[in-house]
Structure 1
Amino acid sequence: MRYILFERLEGRDSAPALGRIATGASEIEVFDLPAVEAARGVLALIDREHAGDPAPLSGERVMIDAVRPLAPVPRPARNIFCVGKNYFDHAEEFAGSGFDSSAAQGAVPKAPIVFSKLPECVTPFDAPIPVDADITTAIDYEAELAVIIGKGGRGIAKAEALGHVWGYTIVNDVTARDLQGKHSQWLIGKSQDGFCPMGPVALAADAFDLETARIRCWVNDELRQDATMQQLIFDIPTLIETISRGITLMPGDVIATGTPAGVGIGFKPPKYLAPGDSVRIEVDGIGVLENPVVAYRAAENAA
């Protein structure tokens, strides 16, 4: 089952609604939730499940092509946990890019590299990725599978970790490479406004096949990234075990699991994003996340 937070196309100011989409269906079954609760996206469903009060369906059905998707976790309660250098080929390309402050320790990390993105940088399907030339001239894309935690905990064992996953979505870990290098850390270069497109839906954990799912990214019509989850250096259970060792994971936390080879800095010369570009990410079973790249002032007007 896929879950979607959406606005109806007939009015930009219409209240967000939350629904579910059965596999292969073209209609959304809408949940009967107050607008304020629905606006929290799948966080509202997770909280209700923990309270033993699952959200009821309203009986209303809406055609998928009549809605505008919003990010399924529009405002994470905390920073998004992110993982660097977590695909073998990307670890090699990043180590040779000149932006990797950990390269002296070897291309492939010995333990997960965990950093974060601010919750305010989350943005939905089709929202502009802003290019502010006064701040950065080296904006890169990173296609990633994101985990949504359903059951919190501290000291979660690897063998039990997938039982704590509520579902999955797609994120684009947009990065200002020049800021990443200038500050010798990753928060500023990865948390600029609009730097975390997410969506278009969240897929229930039991409907996602980690063994076979592929992740792909196109910039305009050029396929740049193509990998399977089997190419992760540290798998999802390992990431959950690592992060929860001393940090209590909470329901609704989001973990972005890393990006495959093919990012802009992997090319010689680098292929950075520019206004007029479009970034399209597809993950099997979840769908397609696509966002235009727009000059900053134009992006403000489009938002």
Structure 2
Amino acid sequence: MAYTTFEHNGVRRVGEVRGAALVPLEGITEIGLGTPLTLLGDATRNDRDQIPVEEAQLLPVVPNPSKIFCVGLNYRAHVKETKRDLPTYPVLFPKFASNLIGPHDDIMLPPESSQVDYEGELVVVIGRQGRRIVESDALDHVLGYTVANDTTMRDFQYKTHQWMQGKAWDASTPVGPYVVTPDEIDLNNAGIRTTLNGETVQESDLSMLIFSIPKLIATISAFTVLKPGDLIFTGTPGGVGYRRDPQVFLNDGDKISVEIDGVGAVNNLVRAEPKTQTWQ
């Protein structure tokens, strides 16, 4: 089963995905803190009000997560290309809700950065609250999985040994299109790939994660409570643009896609943000 948060005729809703249609769930306006596992499953489906996916504006699947955790260096090929040692503890950094965009929204290139890079990732969506979760129980806290492009401003990331200033740009990170429940996915065999202008630039499979999803959930919940709608970005495979020779960065007009077998794909056009644009 899969769910998504969308807008149609100016109204925000949550829909169950049925083929090319969305079936609205009564009384639920977005996936997040107020939608634990049981609520989505028990909600009334409005079958008579089905909406074609192509007519809906798909939002970030969780528009307002209370926490977003990202994991760096979680595929061996990516660790190798960075010339670092294998980590013995997950490399963690934050994102914020304001960083997220819909799965088909434009990725805007900020005028301050000339090294905007792609990072295809699987994202875990938490569905049940927990603290100090043991690995053997960790998957019981998962609502499902989704896809993201952890768009990164490398020239800002490496200004210091902390990464946040390169990772937490507003309106930079597409997430979606759906939250797919665990019973629908074979995580041991699912492939992940990033395509830039039709060329595959990253390709691996989820069995290659250094730190497993249960390990990540146990590690993070040791120091903070995980709540419904919290997101865990699980890391990117090798092939990022910064580590290529010559380097590859995103440019105005590029088309970038991240796809995970059985989960879905985010497909985005890259556009230059006007230098005069301001945010209120």
TM-score range, shorter chain: over 0.9
Q: In structure 2, do the counterparts of structure 1 residues 298 and 125 end up closer, same or farther at CA, with 3 Å as the change threshold?
A: farther
**Matched length:** 277
Deviation, structure 1 residue 264: 0.5
Q: What amino acid maps onto 2:20 in structure 1? A: S
Q: Take 1:209 and 1:276, find their aligned partners in 2: how far apart are those partners?
A: 34
Q: Take 1:65 and 1:243, find their aligned partners in 2: how far apart are those partners?
A: 37
- Note the alpha carbon deviations across 1:202-249, whole angstroms, 9 max, x for none: 111222211111111101111011111111111101111111112221
Q: Aligned residue for 2:35?
A: 45
Q: What amino acid maps onto 1:257 in structure 2? A: T
1:132 aligns with 2:110: yes
Q: Aligned residue for 2:233?
A: 256
Q: Take 1:186 and 1:142, find their aligned partners in 2: how far apart are those partners?
A: 14
1:280 aligns with 2:257: yes
Q: Aligned residue for 1:7?
A: 7
1:243 to 217, 220, 244: 220
Q: Aligned residue for 1:100?
A: none
1:94 aligns with 2:82: yes
RMSD (Å) for aligned C-alpha atoms: 2.0
Q: Aligned residue for 1:289?
A: 266
Equivalences for 1:69-80 in 2 at 5 Å? Answer: 69-78=58-67, 80=68
Q: Aligned residue for 2:168?
A: 191
Equivalences for 1:1-303 in 2 at 5 Å? Answer: 1-8=1-8, 11=9, 14-22=10-18, 25-33=19-27, 37-38=28-29, 40-46=30-36, 49=39, 54-59=42-47, 60-78=49-67, 80-95=68-83, 103=84, 106=85, 108-133=86-111, 135-297=112-274
Percent of residue pairs identical: 36
Unaligned 5+ segments in structure 1 are: 96-102
Q: Take 1:28 and 1:69, find their aligned partners in 2: how far apart are those partners?
A: 11
Q: What amino acid maps onto 1:76 in structure 2? A: P
- Note the alpha carbon deviations across 1:92-149, whole angstroms, 9 max, x for none: 1123xxxxxxx3xx2x11111111112210100221211122x111011100000011
Normalised by the size of structure 1, how large is the TM-score? 0.86
CA contact (8 A) 1:45 1:55 kept: no
Q: In structure 2, do the counterparts of structure 1 residues 300 and 217 end up closer, same or farther at CA, with 3 Å as the change threshold?
A: farther
Unaligned 5+ segments in structure 2 are: none
